[in-house]
Chain A
């Protein structure tokens, strides 16, 4: 009997040991990645790292940023994977990110990483502004397809353009900050004054303008290319247009939250997040990824996106965000009175 008696605990120990080796590390990952992509991202990551389980906490860019800031003194997240770089810059100014140089950092295009060494964050892909133009309604209403930002302030677009409110939408903010960078402060505000006359509505989210254009509620939606392509696949009669002056963009980026208890697993995830395999994964929905030369064309995305992206000054955008938004709100928000 004795051998069995000793065998059983030994077997239990062995099983426990095996369990322990396989025991999952759970990472709480905050993200603003589009809802339809989350499952795919986690599954692809788990192909290489089955031992790390990702618990997603997803919301829109603004809300995730706010949540992180609110938890500043008691962080709940281990990693931020897929949040706008401008938001990560804000978190950096609050000292909330753990600098880390992931493996393969040197392969990234220099724009797609924090300039400090080691960097506080690394980029994944670019998320670019685009216009969604409804060809059916455009023809019906005699509104031609715009080719540039300047077109949008022409009188024939009056009441046919929707854009996101930059105070609530990351896409809206990158539009406004790109206009201010392209046209200068004065020219940018003058442009927005004129554009305001043509705007039918400022929406809360960056997706909605394109959805509205897709459903014919508006003719032109100022939105982002990803949403445009997805809406087109669904059957909307829209064209995705890149304005000729150049387009604002932001990148989705990854960072380790300072103070995480799972630093090793967090580093593994960040390493993987800039691997070629991850880039291929991002490339399904995004035409520009952080490793140059890797991206393949994406269905319904215009080819010229990389050339059209402006030389975005993220520090300017982050440090002037408050000033720009209060100016914008004072000028355009809630001005329309009942007529």
Chain B
């Protein structure tokens, strides 16, 4: 065809215009969800970081004094700073304080006597120079006159400024620094034990012909359904000073690192087991055949084939467990005794001492190991993908009576441990007054007569869980779809991915505290959501965003990329494709995300403990507060309510999944 001929052809329809509109809408959606993550995560974290640099200091240059002689003739005004310069009463260190600090004014006057007839005058020389007369606040630049008996009751108040003093104070406080050591210590020990136990368990599930596999799998998942502090309560009933099995400890106390480690193994076990089972299930039969033909012993095969092929799973599990333990505060709270860890320090500083600035400092310190573990884990995850090739043959375990029996024994021990802990909690909840009145009663379920918010807290929790599951799944899935199916726009997508991965690196308590700083600021237009259910939903969705996002991405990647061009060439807008094809195909993943959100919203304590208000008390927090007040049996009762609710939700989910699979996933079984 000649060039001139082409010129005479009528102009065709603009190609790609439909796609462009789709592109705009997709970018818009992505932008909205990115904005959500920015507001719900990045900005609060920034607010927290800046709060950690807010310090309180007595500003001696802001006060002036005048002292009279016995005949009440006043001398020259002199500033407090000059007095201190001259007398060296307060060191620079002493002038740093917290928001509640007080500095006695008479310390600047060594010749002070409260019986003398000397009069004192003082005033502020700056706009903000507060002091107290007894308990009455004063803040004025007018001269105020006091007799000496009143003057001894004068205290200066600190004013806020910015600096690294909080960090200096933190690292010079031996008890706070020892928390870092303690945290690392228990996290390391728990990680080693959990990963070993979980590896044995996962190995038995995927590499042996042991019986009762599905039962064991079910039991191993139970700890996910309860708040992390529940095992602590069970351990008190088992090994406390009145514990049923107290003698097994040979005089050791369960309160402290021992209790924290046992409880941590309990609640992190399913997480490690899932990761390691996945890693073990993608092994290649051919490698084992090769090992066999080379006459390698079973032991040698185990070390040269099995363990290396699961190494990324093991490393990943180790980091997940480590992060879970170091950021958990429920367990150390219940059973830690006097053993301080970082997560407890945040709670103590904020809830106990109202020292929000120091709480922010500890949060930043806690963020470091969590972020490090997260980065390493991501690197490892990337490598794992390339392990399987298209030629791999899935491994088929062969019966081996001795191995199978050992596996059964191992799983039995773990299962008894897990089921035992849950059973003890249920038992504890039904006993009238342990250990003196062992009759059964339901009085521990009278939550309305106790701290923690009563049955309303339980209802709130269910509301939160439903809202989180509904709203969270929607946001997460749409976000994942947009970032996966958008064309071009690499920088934007990379940025979005980063934002979506960030929540995993942020411990819940840090998130909760960051929310206080960000949303409790009257200048923030979003301030009205503070203290409402909305902020609880936002924080929970954000806290658990990453896992949902990854699940959605995996499901979306399985859909052939051809669907979009086909839909576009058929003139169909992307949302029709989304509604008719994408969502139905991904429905199992969508259900998985929603049950994950539901269960976690029921059990989470860490972020919401800083954010609930009287009208939005939650069951998980009630467990904590009832234990705090010493109503341990009621705490166990509420914990078991959470367990049954989650178990019921999971059963429903399993049922729904099966139906959905049958209806929409018939194409898979070709």
Contact = CB atoms under 8 A, between A and B. Distances in A.
B240 interface: yes
A334 interface: yes
Interface stretch (A14-22, A247-255, A304-312, A318-326): A318-326
B614 to A, nearest CB: 5
Interface string A182-224: 0000000000000000001111110111111011111000000
B68 interface: no
Contacts of B629: 205, 207-208, 211
A211 B630 contact: yes
A116 B134 CA distance: 11
B185 A201 contact: no
B353 interface: yes
Nearest to B257: A338
A338 B173 CA distance: 18
Given A204-B628, A237-B436, A168 B134 contact: no
A217 B241 CA distance: 5
B338 A321 contact: no
Nearest to B101: A322
Nearest to A333: B175
Interface residues of A, number: 66
A117 interface: no
Contacts of A165: 348, 352
Given A74-B522, A93-B132, A319-B102, A168 B630 contact: no
A278 interface: no
Given A58-B614, A215-B242, A315-B134, A167 B353 contact: yes
A136 B352 contact: no
Interface string B600-631: 00000000000001100000000000001111
B176 A217 contact: no
Contact of A93 (B136, B179, B241, B340): B136
B182 A338 contact: yes
A19 B654 CA distance: 53
A296 B307 CA distance: 74
Interface residues of B, number: 56
A12 interface: no
B35 to A, nearest CB: 27
Contacts of B241: 137, 216-218
Interface in B625-647: 628-632
Contact of A202 (B338, B433, B632): B338
A60 B520 CA distance: 20
B630 A212 contact: yes
B397 interface: no
A62 B182 CA distance: 27
A6 B526 CA distance: 48
Interface in B323-381: 333, 337-340, 348, 351-354
Contact of B614 (A36, A59, A334): A59
B135 interface: yes
B100 A215 contact: no
Contact of A334 (B178, B351, B451, B631): B178
Contacts of B137: 92-95
B464 interface: no
A322 B94 CA distance: 13
Given A66-B354, A211-B630, A216-B241, A319 B135 contact: yes
A116 B437 CA distance: 51
Interface of A: 35-36, 56-60, 62-63, 65-66, 69-70, 73-74, 89-90, 92-95, 116, 136-137, 165, 167-168, 200-205, 207-212, 214-218, 227, 234-237, 315, 318-323, 325-326, 329-330, 333-338
Interface of B: 97-98, 100-102, 132, 134-137, 153, 155, 173, 175-176, 178-179, 182, 185, 236, 240-242, 255-257, 333, 337-340, 348, 351-354, 432-437, 449-452, 454, 520, 522, 613-614, 628-632
19 contacts: A35-B450, A62-B351, A62-B354, A74-B522, A92-B136, A93-B135, A200-B255, A203-B628, A207-B629, A210-B630, A215-B242, A216-B435, A315-B153, A320-B102, A321-B100, A322-B97, A334-B176, A338-B257, A338-B339
